């Protein structure tokens, strides 16, 4: 299944990148790397037997479902595929919220992750006044609790989580 998603994403990425003058594909290696990222984001929802969840490249419905969980902390990462700092921050957030990671907030809650592509869901970005990328908003019990902008190193993201 991932191979099919990868091929489809490769075709879409190649067409898109070649059609846009500001984001050319210089080699098949770059296109393949971009396709791999797109395919992995397109895989969407991942969950485990524990309560940690990741909604990657989430729809509005997934977003609403994820943040509405009581007694949970959800990091919502507003990103764009063309954003360099977003590409640096994304693996850190995914690592910290992965089902095998033992990362919790200062209050002991587990952390879920939702990623929102601002190019596809600009209305959500506008609703939460996202003016810079990446922007990460932490939701506690369905309400925005805190946020940060820019690509932070893992140690700073951990400090951010400890404050929640």
Mention every residue, 6+ apart, whose C-beta is less than 8 A from residue 91: none
In whole angstroms, what is the distance from residue 28 CA to residue 35 CA?
Answer: 10
- Of 39, 58, 86, 136, which residue is the catalytic one? 86
- Of 9, 39, 67, 83, which residue is the catalytic one? 83
The answer to whether 74 touches 52, Cβ cutoff 8 Å, is no
Q: Tokens in use for 49?
A: 């037997």
**Orientation of helix 84-97 relative to helix 154-162, angle to 10°:** 60
* Three-state SS at 8: helix
Q: Is 103 a catalytic residue?
A: no
In whole angstroms, what is the distance from residue 19 CA to residue 23 CA?
Answer: 8
Would you please indicate which residues are annotated as catalytic (active-site) residues? 83, 86
């Amino acid at each position: 299944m991932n191979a099919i998603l990868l091929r489809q994403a490769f075709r879409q990425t190649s067409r898109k990148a070649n059609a846009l003058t500001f984001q050319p594909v210089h080699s098949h290696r770059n296109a393949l790397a971009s396709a791999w990222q797109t395919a992995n984001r397109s895989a969407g929802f991942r969950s485990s037997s524990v309560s940690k969840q990741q909604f990657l490249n989430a729809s509005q419905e997934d977003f609403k479902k994820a943040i509405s969980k009581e007694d949970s902390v959800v990091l919502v990462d507003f990103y764009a595929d063309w954003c360099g700092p977003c590409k640096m921050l994304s693996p850190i957030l995914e690592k910290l919220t992965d089902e095998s990671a033992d990362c919790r907030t200062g209050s002991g809650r587990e952390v879920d992750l939702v990623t929102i592509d601002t190019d596809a869901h600009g209305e959500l970005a506008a609703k939460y006044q996202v003016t810079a990328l990446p922007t990460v908003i932490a939701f506690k019990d369905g309400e925005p609790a805190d946020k940060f902008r820019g690509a932070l190193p893992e140690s700073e993201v951990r400090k951010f989580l400890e404050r929640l």
